[in-house]
A = this chain, B = another copy of it.
């Protein structure tokens, strides 16, 4: 194999933009991230080192990726309206994830709330126009966040089919032409003072199981009554800040609700495949980086005075690692394509079980493989495996977090099983 670009991609799916986007981001990664990333762990609170790299990636002083989803007429690149939106996202996730999956998630979660108003067929032009300047005209990185998880329920909120939104305690009350929001959210990526814009899944009628009462409402971070805590300290992913957010009588215009009754619940369901596809992309990116590092290692370190890779048994171990990377990449692109088929006659809408549950299965699988091969790679490195200088252990810590987020492994398992076997009570 010539290099990591040779890992299998379903060539027929690849967008014409792929090569260009990759090379731009790879250049950024090699210059702005790779030389500094070993210091990120200690920068988790302040982002002194991390922030400039974000600016070069997302803001107009750099690549300007944060505007990519917006329509060209509002200053963006129009990816939200592209037939390859998922596939392109997969490439973005890979390339940024190769450098740092935490940066990848912080960057791409900025798209997450915006998908609900910028991606065909659900473009909400009024909101798109309202928020376009915030992202498209900024020199520096501007972040958004999806304030989903609540203290009592963990990822229960993602289990909307089962709970019907009954457990949601963040409440939006319509007063005149304003929503008044009260509640407490935990853990969203880009909280801890990072995000300029939140979308807040909430209920308009506490305790209701009617999905019409479920709402997704946009809240600019500087709105009065929004308070963010300091970032949590975590085992990894220093570039991604998470914290508590409290909403106390927060008032936003009534048209800040993404789409309205019923459609908001559908839209909420639609953001899940985006999160899953991106998660797979992040992990593939980290795995590509793993391969680069491992390749060098097994070619230069020896066992029995031969390079590690020339020992048949060790070759079988690293061969399995590379083989799994190949497989995960195929699956991630296939998952992305499931999303991109949403408007095709042979495709399914992204709020459908077909897409969501199959993707849950794929994300669960890719996560398991990633957790496994990073653990195995550390063992291949032996005493160097846990050493930060070799850049693998950091991914190992981050990858586990990706496995656990968005409801974690068991939710994926249940959604997949429910779909494949038409279970009624899971």
Contact = CB atoms under 8 A, between A and B. Distances in A.
Contacts of A306: 425
Interface in A1-44: 1, 6, 8, 10-13
A310 B423 contact: yes
Given A326-B361, A330-B331, A338-B8, A319 B422 contact: no
Contacts of A420: 1, 291, 318-319, 322-323, 326
A11 B315 contact: no
A388 to B, nearest CB: 24
Category for how many chain A residues contact B: 35 or more
A415 to B, nearest CB: 9
A361 B323 contact: yes
A407 to B, nearest CB: 14
Contacts of A410: 316
Nearest to A348: B6
Contact of A426 (B310, B422, B424, B425): B310
A63 interface: no
Contacts of A364: 323
B337 A10 contact: yes
A334 B410 CA distance: 28
A12 B11 contact: no
A212 interface: no
Interface string A292-327: 000100110000001001101001101110111011
Contacts of A324: 365
A6 B422 CA distance: 13
Contacts of A358: 8, 326
A45 B414 CA distance: 46
A199 interface: no
Contacts of A426: 310, 312, 315
A312 B416 CA distance: 12
Nearest to A357: B1
A258 to B, nearest CB: 30
A342 interface: no
A319 to B, nearest CB: 3
A414 to B, nearest CB: 7
A263 to B, nearest CB: 26
Nearest to A361: B323
A128 B214 CA distance: 67
Contacts of A362: 326-327
A347 interface: yes
Contacts of A1: 354, 419-422
A417 interface: yes
Interface string A182-208: 000000000000000000000000000
15 contacts: A6-B354, A12-B12, A12-B13, A298-B421, A309-B421, A315-B414, A315-B417, A315-B418, A315-B426, A316-B410, A319-B416, A320-B413, A323-B365, A326-B358, A330-B330
Q: Which 7 A-B pairs have the closest CB atoms?
A: A319-B417, A322-B420, A315-B417, A323-B361, A316-B413, A309-B421, A319-B416
